[in-house]
Structure formats: structure tokens, C-alpha cells
């Protein structure tokens, strides 16, 4: 197991600034502060955290996660696991099962946390499920650092990565053929759809594996009190290391921070061009302009009078519920989004955190968090289509709604500038942008002291802090 702590003292006397306080910005700040640099983080919004914030978006007393809500890669992150975040108030809460996937017959496929129990639940497909995932589940502590770093580096566990690589490139559609049951195929489709790729595209299968493996290895927890508690813990630990976070401080130009020895930017390529200006070479800017953003999301948060009335009661065992029906239906919906269309029956990702964390809502009341994929920059109102999908599996859902908050792609972007066109992954992850993200230089820019550390760098989207960790290590190596 590698040591994710960084040797301290190497940057003493130097100053670094980080633009943006998302999980990657804060991770970068912590690595730099541990190395002895004086670190200041500048955050545009009123509260830090970017995609890891909680707010009263609907009614007083209802705590909603603005962005991320469920944290397989947070609890499974090699870097976050090396930090004393529990001492600063972070508590992971696991629902009895990580995930439920209801079907039209009124039942649900439940993904159990224990891989043996999951195999039993999947019946005839249990053995296939196990053989697909077990090597990565059993070796999660070796596997996680490998998948959460640039792909172009030499693997430390070549046999494990060769095993993953053989399957990872395949489309989800091909991997799903190993399952006999419609139910298992549907479950795998929902997992693979986290990729934002069509399920017949190369690499989409990798996401099915990358979402399922941590479900068994480390779980899919939520954060007690709301996602903000993750950010608060990171900020508090950074403060202990002497770092500072300034909020409502939008950096309009990197000229304003040119006196720092290192500048790490937790921003997407489009913003880097906007704020980097003349500090970045024309050829580097031209390469950044070629970076492609992925589909966006249309998100709704709910204050509810009661738990969601699932037809399949077992859905109440899972904090996350995937709504989209069969493999074929989900594949159709995701294909439509990739083709720039809005599916009639979108694939909906739903979380019901208050069932497992009473602090999220007033007594007896509940919250829900849901989004569906839409083309980048979409202006189509998907509310009724999204709610029809919830009603399909939970008739009477609309009667429980006390209030809702709708976050369209443009609204999301107005609350976190990194969410360009509603893209929550920092840019499309296809083969090219997985290898070279956002350019072949990865974290390095054309300016010697400016680095990129957002999810537009490897390993990409998700709350794991590993983009920030690797960017900061690269920056320290340049000193």
C-alpha cells in the first residue's frame, strides 16, 4: 500500500494559491500545506465545496445536497482515507444496501453490499457477477490508487490492471451479455449509465465495474448532516495545517495572483482560458479549446411529507435508487442524450438520504435528490418526465411533495462555474479524454507555476480528491 501522506517541509517559505474550493481544490491545498507551503484558497461562491455543498434549497429545516450525494469514491479514496476527517466531524452513513433498481413488475433488484449476499440475490447470475467483480473487490486497496490516477503511467499492479483493462474497454452492452437475467442486465445498465456514455460505446462497461466494485468493497455511503460535512472537515483540517479559505472571492484573472510560487486551478478548461489570458501560450489555449464537455444534468430536490411510496418496499433499504427499467430502456435513454435528444423516459438517479440520516429533514419528513441526463446546455424542462419515472415505480409520489427545487443546467452552472452546460464530470470521459485530460500535459500548463487540479484532469469526475492530490504532487515536484 502506498503512503498517501506527503513528506512535509519541502515547500517551506513558499506560497501557493488554489483557485476554487471543490474537493479537488481542497485536496490540492492540503497536500501543499502538508509540504510546508503557505496556502490560500480563493472560492467564488459564498460557501466552499463546489459540488460538495448542502443547502436549504426547498423549505426551512430540509438539508439538500446541491451536487454530489453518494460517495463510493469518497469513502474509497486513497487520499481522503489518509486524512483524519472523522476528527473533523465527517461520518459516513451506510444504508443497509447500497443500491436498489425497481422494475415494472413491482419488484426491485437490490445490490447487497456483501458480494456473497449480492451473488445470492442475483440467482443464476450470481457466479458471473462474482467472477466479474471479485478481483477488484478483494484487492480494492491496490485497485483504487491504480484507477484513480493518470492511465498513461506504468501500473503498480500490472496483473490486476490487465484484468481490468481487458474488460474495461468493452461497451456495457457486451459485458451485460454474460448475464442471463433481465434483472441483472438492468442493474448493470444503471451502473454503467454513470458514465454519461451510450451503453454501446467503448469504455461504458468500465463504469459498470467501477461503480459496482466499491459498492461491495467500501459501500456507497452518504455523509451525516449533508455533503457539506465533507467539505467542512477538509477545510477544518486545512486550517489546522495553516491553510486559509476565502469565500466570495472569484478570481477573474490569474494576473491577480501572480505573486504566488504555485497556482493550482480547480477550474475547467474553458474557465482556465478565461482567467489565464496572456499567462498561457496560444498553442496551449488552442489545445484546451479542443476539450469536449459531456452531457449535462437536470436536477430536482424534494421536501417530502413522507417516505417515497415505492411499489417494491425493498427500495427503502437503499440510499440510492436507479429508475429506468430494463437494460434496453436505459440504453435507449442514454443513446438519445448522446445524440443531443431528450428521452421521453430518462434514466433517473435518485437518493433518499433522510431515510438513513434523520438530520436531513424535520421529524417525520423526508428529502429526495434526483437528476437525469440531458444534452449539454439543455434548456428543456424535464420535470414532468423525471417525476413520471418516479411515479412509475412509486405511485402517489407527487402527493408527498411539499416543495421542490429545480436546477437546470444553466442554474447549476450559475452556482458552480465548473458545471459547464450542466456537465458534472468536468468534461466527457471517452478514450481520448481519459488518457489525455484535458491535454497530453495533464496537470501541467504552458506556464511553469500554473497547474490544473479539477476533475477536468485525471482521474476525472467524482468526489475523491485524487485530481487535486496528483496535481499538487506534480506542482511540488516542479519546485
Ligand X SMILES: Cc1cc2nc3c(=O)[nH]c(=O)nc-3n(C[C@H](O)[C@H](O)[C@H](O)COP(=O)(O)OP(=O)(O)OC[C@H]3O[C@@H](n4cnc5c(N)ncnc54)[C@H](O)[C@@H]3O)c2cc1C
Positions that interact with ligand X (CB under 6 A) = 19-25, 42-45, 50-52, 67-71, 73, 250-251, 266-267, 271, 275, 297, 299, 371, 412, 416-419, 424, 426, 454-455, 461-463, 467
Is the distance from CB of 358 to CB of 352 less than 8 angstroms? no
Give 77 or 173: the residue with its C-beta nearer to ligand X.
77
Q: How far is the CB of 457 from ligand X (least distance, A)?
A: 8
Task: Please tell me whether residue 24 adopts helix, strand or coil conformation.
Answer: helix
- Residue 52: C-alpha distances to residues 166, 315, 393, 413 (Å): 33, 25, 28, 14
- In the block, which residue shows the cell 474550493? 21
Task: Please tell me whether residue 37 adopts helix, strand or coil conformation.
Answer: coil
Q: How far is the CB of 307 from ligand X (least distance, A)?
A: 20
User: What does the alpha-carbon distance between residue 88 and residue 451 come to, in Å, rounded to a whole number?
Assistant: 28
Q: How far is the CB of 163 from ligand X (least distance, A)?
A: 24
Q: Please tell me what DSSP assigns to residue 153.
A: S
Give 288 or 419: the residue with its C-beta nearer to ligand X.
419
- In the block, which residue shows the cell 423526508? 366
Q: How far is the CB of 181 from ligand X (least distance, A)?
A: 27
Give 35 or 275: the residue with its C-beta nearer to ligand X.
275
- Residue 313: C-alpha distances to residues 66, 99, 190 (Å): 27, 13, 19
Q: How far is the CB of 105 from ligand X (least distance, A)?
A: 28
Q: In the chain, how many H helices and how many E strands? A: 18, 16
Give 125 or 465: the residue with its C-beta nearer to ligand X.
465
Give 196 or 371: the residue with its C-beta nearer to ligand X.
371
Q: How far is the CB of 143 from ligand X (least distance, A)?
A: 17
For the chain, the distance separating the N- and C-terminal CA atoms, rounded to the nearest angstrom, is: 26
Give 19 or 199: the residue with its C-beta nearer to ligand X.
19
Q: How far is the CB of 291 from ligand X (least distance, A)?
A: 14
Cis-peptide, bond into residue 438, ω within 30° of zero: yes
Give 173 or 352: the residue with its C-beta nearer to ligand X.
352
Give 171 or 296: the residue with its C-beta nearer to ligand X.
296
Cis-peptide, bond into residue 231, ω within 30° of zero: no
Hey, how many other C-beta atoms are within 10 angstroms of the C-beta on 104?
Answer: 11
Give 24 or 408: the residue with its C-beta nearer to ligand X.
24
Strands (E), 210-311: 222-223, 244-246, 262-265, 296-304
**Which H/E stretch holds residue 384?**
helix 383-393
Q: How far is the CB of 59 from ligand X (least distance, A)?
A: 20
Q: How far is the CB of 297 from ligand X (least distance, A)?
A: 5
Give 125 or 301: the residue with its C-beta nearer to ligand X.
301
- Residue 54: C-alpha distances to residues 188, 226, 369 (Å): 29, 6, 12
Q: How far is the CB of 98 from ligand X (least distance, A)?
A: 12
Dihedral in degrees, nearest 10, Cα atoms 57, 62, 84, 453: -10
Kindly give, in sequence order, each residue whose CB lies less than 8 Å from that of residue 432, ignoring residues fewer than 6 positions away.
none
Start-end of H helices in 279-429: 282-289, 327-338, 383-393, 409-415
Please tell me the total number of residues recorded for the chain in this structure: 479
Amino acid at each position: 500500500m502506498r503512503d498517501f501522506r506527503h513528506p512535509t517541509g519541502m515547500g517551506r517559505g513558499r506560497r501557493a494559491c488554489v483557485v476554487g474550493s471543490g474537493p479537488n481544490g481542497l485536496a490540492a491545498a492540503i497536500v501543499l500545506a502538508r509540504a510546508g507551503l503557505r496556502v490560500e484558497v480563493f472560492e467564488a461562491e459564498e460557501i466552499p465545496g463546489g459540488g460538495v455543498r448542502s443547502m436549504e434549497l426547498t423549505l426551512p429545516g430540509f438539508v439538500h445536497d446541491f451536487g454530489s450525494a453518494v460517495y463510493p469514491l469518497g469513502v474509497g479514496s486513497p487520499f481522503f482515507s489518509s486524512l483524519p476527517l472523522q476528527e473533523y466531524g465527517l461520518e459516513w452513513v451506510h444504508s443497509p444496501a447500497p443500491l436498489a433498481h425497481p422494475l415494472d413488475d413491482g419488484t426491485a433488484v437490490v445490490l447487497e453490499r456483501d458480494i456473497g449476499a449480492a451473488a445470492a440475490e442475483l440467482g443464476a447470475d450470481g457466479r458471473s457477477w462474482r467472477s466479474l467483480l471479485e478481483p477488484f473487490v478483494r484487492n480494492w486497496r491496490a485497485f483504487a490508487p491504480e484507477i484513480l490516477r493518470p492511465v498513461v503511467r506504468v501500473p503498480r499492479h500490472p496483473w490486476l490492471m490487465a484484468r481490468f483493462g481487458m474488460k474495461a474497454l468493452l461497451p456495457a452492452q457486451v459485458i451485460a451479455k454474460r448475464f442471463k437475467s433481465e434483472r441483472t442486465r438492468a442493474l448493470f445498465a444503471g451502473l454503467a449509465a454513470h458514465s454519461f456514455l451510450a451503453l454501446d460505446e467503448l469504455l461504458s462497461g468500465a463504469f459498470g465495474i467501477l461503480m459496482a466494485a466499491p459498492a461491495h468493497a467500501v459501500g456507497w455511503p452518504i455523509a451525516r448532516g449533508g455533503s457539506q460535512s465533507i467539505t467542512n472537515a477538509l477545510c477544518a483540517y486545512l486550517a489546522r495545517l495553516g491553510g486559509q479559505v476565502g469565500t466570495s472571492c472569484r478570481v477573474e484573472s490569474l494576473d491577480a495572483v501572480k505573486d504566488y510560487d504555485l497556482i493550482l486551478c480547480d477550474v475547467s478548461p474553458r474557465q482556465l482560458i478565461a482567467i489565464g489570458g496572456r499567462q498561457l501560450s496560444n498553442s496551449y489555449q488552442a489545445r484546451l479549446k479542443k476539450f469536449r464537455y459531456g452531457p449535462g444534468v437536470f436536477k430536482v430536490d424534494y421536501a417530502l411529507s413522507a417516505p417515497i411510496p415505492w411499489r417494491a418496499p425493498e427500495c427503502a433499504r437503499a440510499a440510492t435508487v436507479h429508475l429506468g427499467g430494463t437494460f434496453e430502456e436505459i440504453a435507449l435513454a442514454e443513446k438519445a442524450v448522446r445524440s443531443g435528444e431528450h428521452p421521453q423516459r430518462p434514466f433517473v438517479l435518485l437518493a433518499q438520504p433522510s431515510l438513513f440520516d434523520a438530520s436531513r429533514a424535520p421529524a417525520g419528513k423526508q428529502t429526495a435528490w434526483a437528476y437525469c441526463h440531458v444534452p449539454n446546455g439543455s434548456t428543456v424542462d424535464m420535470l414532468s418526465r423525471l417525476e413520471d419515472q418516479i411515479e412509475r415505480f412509486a405511485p402517489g409520489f407527487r402527493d408527498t411533495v411539499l416543495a421542490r427545487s429545480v436546477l437546470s443546467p444553466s442554474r447549476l452552472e450559475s452556482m458552480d462555474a465548473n458545471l459547464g452546460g450542466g456537465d458534472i464530470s468536468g468534461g466527457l470521459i471517452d478514450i481520448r479524454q481519459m488518457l489525455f485530460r484535458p491535454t497530453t500535459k495533464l496537470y501541467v500548463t504552458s506556464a511553469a507555476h500554473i497547474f490544473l487540479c479539477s476533475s477536468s484532469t485525471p482521474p476525472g469526475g467524482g468526489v475523491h480528491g485524487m485530481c487535486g492530490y496528483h496535481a499538487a504532487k506534480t506542482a511540488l515536484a516542479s519546485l
